[in-house]
Amino acid sequence: MFDILDEALVDALQKDCNKWAPGLEIIAIRVTKPKVPMELEQSYQSIEKEKANYNIIGEKSNVVKQELAMKRS
C-alpha cells in the first residue's frame, strides 16, 4: 500500500491547500515503510501460524464430517 500512499496523501493535502491556502502547491511527498521491531514481527508471524493451523484443523474436521455423512447415506 505504500506505493499508492504518496499519491493519495499529495491529493488530499493539495485539496485542503486549495481550500484553505490558495497558491500553496504540494510538490512531492515521500512516505517510507516503517521498520517493525523484530520481536513484534516474530509475534505477528507466530499468531498467523497459529491461525493457519487452526484453519487447517477446522478444514480437516469438515472433511471428516462430510465423509461420515456420506457413509451414513
Model pLDDT for residues 13-67, shown as the tens digit of each residue: 999 999 999 999 999 888 888 888 999 999 999 999 999 999 999 999 999 999 9
Taking the C-alpha atoms of residue 72 and residue 66, their distance in angstroms, rounded to an integer, is 10
On the question of pLDDT at 3 being above 80, the answer is no
Taking residues 9-13, what's their average pLDDT?
Answer: 94
pTM: 0.48
What is the rounded CA–CA span in Å between residue 12 and residue 7? Answer: 9
For residue 73, pLDDT beyond 90:
no
Q: Are 45 and 56 in contact (CB under 8 A)?
A: no
Name the one residue in this structure whose C-alpha cell is 471428516. 64
Residue 2: pLDDT over 80: no
